[in-house]
Amino acid sequence: MLDPSADEIRKWGNSVIQLMTDYLCSLRDRGVYRHMFSRRIRDRLDAALPTKGTDFDGLLRVFREDIIPFSRQNAHPRMFGYVQSPGTPIAAFADLLASTLNANLTVWRSAPAPVEVERLTIDWIRQILGFNAGAGGLFVSGGSMANLAALAAARQTKDCLSGRLRIYASSETHFSIVKAAALLGIGRENVCHIAVDERFRIRMDDLVVKITADLEAGCVPLCVVANAGTVNTGAVDPLAEIREIANRFQLWMHVDGSYGALAILAKSARELFAGIERADSVALDPHKWLYLPVDVGCVIYRDPEIVHAAFAHEAEYTRIIGQEADEAFAFWDYGPELSRRFRALKVWMLLKGVGVDALSEAIENNLACARHLESMVRASDDFEMAAPVELSIFCFRHMPAQLRNESPKTIDAFNERLLVALQRDGSSYLSNATLGGRFALRGCVLNYRTTLHDIEILLDDLRRVAKSLAS
């Protein structure tokens, strides 16, 4: 029903809370992943266009019996694939409340209190990163949209110049940078990939050489993209050095910190991010290392007024009348979206309800888990690291005795089969990476439920599954 009674709403809410509680409290008893086929899932769903409504208990039954079991359990403590947050109960409630209010954060007049909540939480993130008081930003759907917005702002600074615009990024940079360049009309071919060192960080000498060559060829160097935690290995580029190069060549400096930048909250990792506060823009994903459910990305601008020129647009139907300057604020002047949901509520509720100290401790634990994996691998005689651990991503290979004298190609093929078998086994879940042309098992710890024991179980699972492959 479209407009249920108070008793019906209360009954539905109680049922949902019970389901949510049962699910979250049984995560360790579930497999991370269940091998399945598309047709099998479709056959379980009633495909007919519904002309009459179904009772709420029936809808929840489908969710419980047909959706939960056939989903990857992203909140599981041994879900190490990709960069996947588990979400938090407090943020799930925040999403419910945000959808209940259904505020549209376009301009201040559309949602006065929600807009103030977003401005406040953006300022908290500014403080976490160490940016100056004049910095600002907004929440977007995710890191890809944040990167797009930042590059659009960067392009505005060189719009008056003729020549091919060029963007510089390491070969480890996320593909969303290339995609953004294509969407903005800069062109995929004008993203110049810079070589990386043995720790998969951008090489400053190669960066300078390629910028210089472009200048000599009549191109217009626009922006250098630094990584604050690459998605392959978690590498953090030398941010302060990149700022100096950007200043030397008058480039916009953008930091893609979608995965890693919020690890600045962990004392043991803080030094890695020295200089991030001097970037012109930073992309973040609170739905990664603030443990929030998707979607909530973020872009921070060191000078929002420069950005205003890239996005501001006037139309009579959006003209703001009779408002003072503070109340005339419009988010559409600082990003590509017009309609925007109340994403800030879950950020505010998490930071306010949990506190930065608890988040810092949880991130430290994630880092410790990845280091524990690296120490166990280096101490073993049947695994090898494929890259050093910098944050919470680890890349390694299984090297059982029978493979030690085999070719790299054979070892890679075995590990690829092992990955698929591990995923189908369901106890632990890894993803993959290609590093230096070699296949690697890749994991990322991004879950406050994960313990050192879960890391030990992962290696035990790999050994067990590998034996079944051999047999």
At 319 the pLDDT is 60
Answer yes or no: do 378 and 330 share one domain: no
Task: Please tell me the predicted confidence (pLDDT) of residue 293.
Answer: 95
Q: Are 296 and 387 contained in the same domain? A: no
Residues 187 and 324 in one domain: yes
Per the model's pLDDT, the better-predicted residue between 323 and 120 turns out to be 120
209 and 304 within one domain: yes
pTM of the model: 0.94
Residues 266 and 153 in one domain: yes
Q: What are phi and psi of 322, to 5 degrees?
A: 70, 25
What residues make up the domain containing 259?
Answer: 103-354
Mean pLDDT value of segment 271-286: 97
Q: Is residue 58 part of a domain?
A: no
Nearest to 283 by CA among 219, 364, 341, 223: 223
Please report which confidence band the pLDDT of residue 318 belongs to, taking 50, 70 and 90 as the band edges: low
- Residue ending a domain, among 354, 382, 411, is 354
CA 325 from centroid of its chain's CA atoms: 34
Is 325 found in the same domain as 446? Answer: no
Please state, in angstroms and rounded to a whole number, the distance separating the CA atoms of residues 4 and 16.
Answer: 15
Q: Could you read off the pLDDT of 86-141 as tens digits, one per residue?
A: 999 999 999 999 999 999 999 999 999 999 999 999 999 999 999 999 999 999 99
Check pLDDT > 60 for residue 322: no
Which pLDDT band, with edges at 50, 70 and 90, does 159 fall under?
confident
**Residue 370 and residue 222 share a domain:** no
Domain count, the chain: 2
Residues 226 and 368 in one domain: no
Angle CA 375–376–380, to nearest 5: 120
Residues 233 and 382 in one domain: no
CATH number at residue 230: 3.40.640.10
The percent of residues in the chain predicted with pLDDT above 90, rounded, is 88
Query: Are residues 388 and 278 located together in one domain of the fold?
Result: no
**Does 70 map to a domain?**
no
Is there a single domain that holds both residue 168 and residue 214?
yes
> What value does the mean pLDDT take over residues 33-45?
89
Task: For residue range 8-28, list pLDDT tens digits in order.
Answer: 999 999 999 999 999 999 999
Looking at the predicted structure, is the pLDDT value of residue 237 above 90? yes
